């Protein structure tokens, strides 16, 4: 049996799923991408409906798809979502700190009041260099489209199925030849 749900009716539909679960049915709640990125509020709803914690199985996130398309090293990247309920001020501060620290930032916008152009404006207002490279990817793995330019050129409108990348001013040095890597002559 399949129970469909959307953002508006998910609480009611999850109650139905939880009722089935409590009759002994094994239930799976399928969520887009990886629930561990920008999905924990939904996970909380699932667990509230069931009355206990549940197991999670990661899928492929939009961040992973974008990293693959745009060759992004996760080690040098901060991940942020604004697609959440509640106070986003701490996340806005973290975005600025991560960018000031020379990281890339992968950012999920919040439809429709904190979209890529609002995110760019927020960064510029807080002193981030407008020349930093930025990208917006839409409908990854579907009808893909992408924009790239400088952060201060990010003024267009994008769909709610979009994810933004603000790149570091420079990649971290490779350090493959550092003494700790064991790659130097004599360390083989």
183 binds ligand SAM (CB under 6 A): no
Which one of 14, 39, 106, 114 is in contact with ligand SAM (CB under 6 A)?
39
In the list 18, 61, 165, 166, the residue contacting ligand SAM (rule: CB under 6 A) is: 61
Contacting range for ligand SAM; rule: CB under 6 A; set: 17-25, 36-44, 96-104, 179-187: 36-44
Q: Which of 38, 127, 138 is nearest to 82 (CA)?
A: 38
Q: What is the x/- site pattern for ligand SAM, positions 130-149, by CB under 6 A?
A: -------xxxxxx-------
Element (H, E) at 78: strand 77-81
Q: Report the sign of the C-alpha dihedral through residues 31, 43, 76, 156, in that order.
A: positive
Q: In Å, what is the CA distance from 80 to each residue of 16, 66, 113?
A: 31, 14, 16
Element (H, E) at 164: strand 162-166
If one asks whether residue 76 binds ligand SAM (CB under 6 A), the answer comes out as no
> Near ligand SAM by CB under 6 A, which window of 16-24, 29-37, 86-94, 170-178?
29-37
38 binds ligand SAM (CB under 6 A): yes
| Size of interface with ligand SAM, in residues (CB under 6 A) | 22
What secondary structure letter does DSSP report for 22?
A: H
Burial class (CB in 10 A: 0-12, 13-18, 19+), 53: exposed
83 is a site residue for ligand SAM (CB under 6 A): yes
Closest residue to ligand SAM, based on beta-carbon distance: 33
Q: Is 163 in the site for ligand SAM (CB under 6 A)?
A: yes
Q: Cα torsion at 172, 166, 147, 141 (round to 10°)? A: 80
Residues near ligand SAM (CB under 6 A): 32-35, 37-39, 61-62, 83, 108-109, 137-142, 160-163
């Amino acid at each position: 049996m399949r129970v469909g749900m959307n953002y508006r009716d998910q609480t009611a539909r999850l109650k139905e799923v939880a009722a089935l679960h409590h009759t002994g049915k094994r239930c799976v709640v399928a969520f887009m991408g990886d629930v561990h990125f920008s999905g924990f509020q939904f996970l909380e709803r699932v667990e509230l409906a069931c009355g206990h914690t549940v197991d999670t199985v990661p899928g492929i996130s939009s961040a992973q798809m974008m990293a693959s398309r745009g060759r992004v090293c996760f080690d040098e990247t901060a991940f942020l979502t604004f697609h959440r309920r509640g106070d986003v001020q701490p996340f806005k501060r973290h975005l600025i700190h991560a960018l000031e620290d020379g990281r890339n930032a992968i950012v999920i916008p919040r439809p429709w009041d904190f979209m890529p152009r609002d995110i760019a404006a927020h960064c510029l207002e807080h002193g981030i260099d407008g020349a930093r490279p930025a990208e917006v990817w839409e409908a990854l793995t579907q009808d893909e489209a992408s924009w790239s330019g400088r952060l201060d050129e990010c003024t267009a409108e994008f769909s709610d199925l979009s994810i933004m990348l603000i790149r570091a001013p420079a990649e971290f040095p490779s350090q493959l030849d550092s003494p700790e890597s064991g790659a130097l002559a004599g360390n083989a």
